[in-house]
Chains A and B, each alone.
Chain A
Amino acid sequence: MVSESDAAADTSALALKILVAGGFGVGKTTLVGAVSEIRPLRTEELLSEAGQSVDDTDGVDRKVTTTVAMDFGRITIRSGLSLYLFGTPGQDRFWFLWDELSQGALGAVVLADTRRLEDCFPAVDYFEHRRIPFVVAVNCFPGARGYGAHDVSRALDLDHGTPVVLCDARERDSGKEVLIRLVEYAGRMHTARLLDSVS
């Protein structure tokens, strides 16, 4: 089964993208760092914020700019096939950046903290609405009550079939498992949609 993307690629190298989302302080960069072969790097975007301009004596509007940082890591699967993991920026005001990040993404990991489960609602909502395959990874923090995957799925009101995985964002093996579950799930979702479109 040869995909059209093989024919369309300008080079033989293929880069894939997985997003790592979740509330503030939930462990996104930790997860990326645990599985990445390079230490997490940071990209920055400068955004000018409309409506917050400062008039100066020249009569020229100057916009206030904000720096938005995204941490990312990389896993080289083999020569010519790399997987990039991008931590998403904060969840208010930056949704248009999420749209850009989501372009062509394989899927996403939504990291959840059971002590503040509601922090991942916006991310879950975002991916469900855009039909982007995602798994919920419950990062187990000390002092957090142990929850079953089923409880978390109900608490987040997840669409039926969305995988919930327990993990420790600091552990490479745990992070691997989360990514594997996501890639498998993304493959199944994609196949299911293909079948839907021809039936």
Chain B
Amino acid sequence: MTDTPTGGPREPGIQWYDGEAGPLVRPYAMTGGRTQPGPSGVSFDLIALVTLDPAAPAMDDDTVLGPEHRALIGLCRLETQSVAELAAGADLPVGVVRVLLGDLLDLGRVTVSRPVPPAHLPDERVLREVIEGLRAL
């Protein structure tokens, strides 16, 4: 029988807990073990902005959405937020949030902006706005 790093014996089928770090395996249980967002192929950058789609159905679909999905929708309802802010607000690892957002995107509940690709950095006008905005802080 193998010992866990924390020293205790382990039963087959029990979620593995690390005494220090807390439940390591459980977060991905919310996504059914999926670690990548779905077939839409969108990769969620940390600063991709997520907005609730106003055209989406108003009623909650309890059969499809889990509590974590609804928590994310609740956060988006307040204001458009970045993926990073949603992860912090929902207190979930970013990887898990990416999978859940993929679901919401596929269901048409949210829209996601794509951050500027590296080759197309913001133009002069935007940079000047940023500098002026920073000076005004």
A and B form one complex:
yes
Shortest C-beta distance, B8 to chain A (Å), equals 12
Which of A41, A44, A67, A191 has the largest number of chain B CB atoms within 10 A?
A: A44
Known: A46-B27, A84-B47. A5 touches B122 (CB 8 A): yes
Q: Does A183 contact B (CB under 8 A)?
A: yes
- Are A13 and B113 in contact, CB atoms less than 8 angstroms apart? yes
Asked if A84 and B120 make an inter-chain contact with CB atoms under 8 angstroms apart, the answer reads: no
Contact of B49 among A3, A15, A41, A172 (CB under 8 A): A15
Across the interface, B134 reaches (CB within 8 A) one of A1, A55, A179, namely A179
CA distance A63 to B117 in the complex (A): 33
A3-B120, A3-B122, A179-B134 given as contacts; is B84 within 8 A of A11 (CB)? Answer: no
Q: Hey, which chain A residues are within 8 Å of B127, CB to CB?
A: 183-184, 186-187
Question: What is the 8 Å Cβ interface bit string for chain A, positions 57-86, against chain B (1 contact, 0 not)?
Answer: 110001001010010101101100111101
Q: Are B94 and A186 in contact (CB under 8 A)?
A: no
Contact B115 A17 (CB under 8 A): yes
Residues of A within 8 A of B60 (CB): none
Contact residues on B (Cβ < 8 Å of other chain), bracket: 35 or more
Task: Give bound CA distance, A72 to B48, whole Å.
Answer: 14
Instruction: Tell which of A101-109, A113-121, A143-151, A154-162 binds the partner.
Output: A101-109
> Is the beta-carbon distance between A176 and B95 smaller than 8 angstroms?
no
| Pair A14/B134 contact, Cβ less than 8 Å | no
- Chain A residues positioned under 8 Å from B107 (CB to CB): none
B78 is an interface residue with CB less than 8 A from chain A:
no
Q: Contact check, A78 vs B133: say whether CB atoms are below 8 A apart.
A: yes
On whether the beta carbons of A58 and B12 are closer than 8 Å, the reply is: yes
Residues of A36-62 whose CB lies within 8 A of B:
41-46, 54-58, 62
B80 contacts which chain A residues (CB < 8 A)?
11, 13
A67 smallest CB distance to B (angstroms):
6
> Is B5 a contact of A1 with CB atoms below 8 Å?
no
Residues of B within 8 A of A16 (CB): 47, 116, 122, 126, 130
* A196 close to chain B: CB less than 8 A: no
A selection of 22 A-B contacts at a CB cut-off of 8 Å is: A1-B124, A1-B125, A5-B116, A5-B123, A10-B111, A14-B116, A15-B115, A16-B47, A41-B85, A43-B94, A46-B24, A54-B4, A57-B12, A62-B25, A65-B21, A77-B130, A81-B126, A81-B129, A82-B82, A86-B46, A180-B135, A190-B121
